[in-house]
Amino acid sequence: MKILKEFKEFAVRGSVIDLAVGVIIGSTFGKIVSSLVGDIIMPFIGVIIGGIDFTQLKIQIYNPIGNDQGVYLFYGNFIQSVIDFLIIAFVIFMMVKVVNNVRNKFSYTEEPPAEITNTEILLTEIRDLLKEKNK
C-alpha cells in the first residue's frame, strides 16, 4: 500500500502532469514539423541537388543467385533522417527563440530594493555622525 500511495503522490504532482502535456504536444508538433520537412522542404532540396531521392540510395551487400532479392544497406534513409533531424532541430530552436523573446518583452519585472541590514544601518549612522563632527 505504501508504494501505491507514493506512486499516487508522484503521478499527481504538477511537474509530472506538465511533462505529460509537454510530451503530447511535442509528439503532435513533431508530426507537423515532419510534414513540413518531408512535404515542403525536402522537395526543394531535391530540386537543388538534382532530384536525388535519398530514401532510394542503397548498396547491395549480398548478391544472391536465383530468385532471391538480395540484401541492401539503405544508407539513404539514414541521410534522410539526419537531414530531417537538423531541420526539425533548427525549427524548434527558432520557435523557442521567438517564444523567449516574446516572454522577455512582456515579463519585465523590476527587482525590489535590497533590504538594509542592521550592520549597514549602524555604519550609516556612524558615517553621518563623523561627517557632523568634522564640520
Confidence of residue 70 (pLDDT cuts 50, 70, 90): confident
The burial of 54, by beta-carbon neighbours within 10 Å (0-12 exposed, 13-18 middle, 19 or more buried), is given as buried
DSSP annotation of 56 reads G
Report whether pLDDT(88) > 80.
Answer: no
Residue-averaged pLDDT of the chain: 81
Extract the C-alpha cell encoding 65: 543467385
Model's pTM, two decimal places? 0.49
All domains of the chain in start order, with CATH: 2-109 (1.10.1200.120)
